[in-house]
Amino acid sequence: QKEVEQDPGPLSVPEGAIVSLNCTYSNSAFQYFMWYRQYSRKGPELLMYTYSSGNKEDGRFTAQVDKSSKYISLFIRDSQPSDSATYLCAMSGRAGNMLTFGGGTRLMVKP
């Protein structure tokens, strides 16, 4: 079993929909949680960074962390075709240390 599990998708939604992306993990030492967006053949781009449990909002994006359930989520409001990409969750036990990634969820937002 992988340390971080993520549904690979693809997830297809109409433009304007609310998107929910999720990851589960098994290592209780993880304290820092990130979401990256990766366009085809590009490097990952940091979207959200959260420490420990709680919610964080940035524009159309909201990240949630539930450490008791070992479950993290990313919500995208008013999704746009430009949001079509692969979304990677990542986590670490100490800031700046190695990141453990999920396998990524491919999202397609249709006009």
**Could you list the residues that contact another protein (CB under 8 A)?**
4, 6, 8, 32, 34, 36, 41-46, 49, 51, 88, 90, 95-104
* C-alpha torsion 50→6→12→107, nearest 10: 50
Name which of 59 and 96 has its Cβ closer to another protein.
Answer: 96
How far, in Å, are 58, 76, 91 from residue 48 at the CA level? 8, 11, 11
Q: What is the smallest separation between the CB atom of 90 and another protein, expressed in angstroms? A: 8
Name which of 19 and 47 has its Cβ closer to another protein.
Answer: 47
Name which of 3 and 15 has its Cβ closer to another protein.
Answer: 3
Are the C-beta atoms of residues 81 and 2 closer than 8 Å to each other?
no
Note the helical H segments in 1-111. none
Q: What is the smallest separation between the CB atom of 109 and another protein, expressed in angstroms? A: 20
